[in-house]
Amino acid sequence: MGISLFDLTGKIALVTGSTHGLGMAMAKGLGRAGATIIVNGNSSQPKIDDAVLEFKKEGIQAFGYKFNVADESEVIAAIAKMESEVGTIDILINNAGIIKRIPLIEMEVSEFKEVIDIDLVSPFIVSKHVAKGMIARQEGKIINICSMMSELGRNSVGAYAAAKGGLKMLTKNMATEWGKHNVQVNGIGPGYFATEQTAPIRIDGHPFNDFIINRTPAAKWGNPDDLSGAAIFLSSKASDFVNGHILYVDGGILATIGKPSNEI
């Protein structure tokens, strides 16, 4: 009985920005739990095709679609195509996002808007059009990938923090409006993870690496697979009465003020 609560067999999951990194890790977790995966990216079709192949090598049924999550007309067309060719979308993970590390005083308005469009407006666009089908079927799961920056500020990531803070509240409002239709909308807030992007700063002696190790109660970077359990939980029947919640997977960072630099 307990295991069946987390079984995603027969479910179709769209994970945006899932050709690599944390998006791929979460998608693989859902696939291993039985879901069919729809891979999304916007950089190149070959990159999407390579990602689909990687899923299939693990025995996960996967399909790939290239579209810009911030372009509503592309999203509408893609959803119609996916539902025609693969099936109705039971699970949506809004993972696609960007970050621009520019101090606010130096940031162009166009750069600020670009981050907001991709990190905040696109989850609204994709969710809105996927949720229509979920509401009609009276069932669905939506997961918005938030951030510790949904709660905290940090130098040079003001636009990203503004978007992720907004995404936290958008998640709660989606849950408020769609909960009566048996659609659960929750968020996952990842901490600092060991990915290709963070590899250059995950070196012993690098100031930021030392900061993360000392700042995190778990005293380590997260493994991308650590997000799989949270994604499966929020995609499965196990979370049917969980709505509007942000699950932080951060090794405990948000639980503590940190420790003095001289603490052993």
At the topology level, CATH places domain 3-195+225-255 in: Rossmann fold (3.40.50)
pLDDT at 2 over 80: no
Residue 1 binned pLDDT confidence (cut-offs 50, 70, 90): very low
pLDDT computed for residue 259 by the predictor: 72
Delimit the domains of the chain by residue range: 3-195+225-255
Global pTM reads 0.95
The confidence score (pLDDT) of residue 3 equals: 59
Q: What are phi and psi of 183, to 5 degrees?
A: -110, 120
Tens digits of per-residue pLDDT, 77-123?
A: 999 999 999 999 999 999 999 999 999 999 999 999 999 999 999 99
Catalytic residue among 65, 160, 192, 248: 160
Active site residue 160: yes
Rounded to the nearest 10 degrees, the angle between the axes of helix 45-57 and helix 21-32 is 40
**220-246 pLDDT per residue, tens:** 999 999 999 999 999 999 999 999 999
Phi then psi for 97, rounded to 5 degrees? -170, 165
* pLDDT at position 200: 87
The whole-number pLDDT of residue 80 equals 98
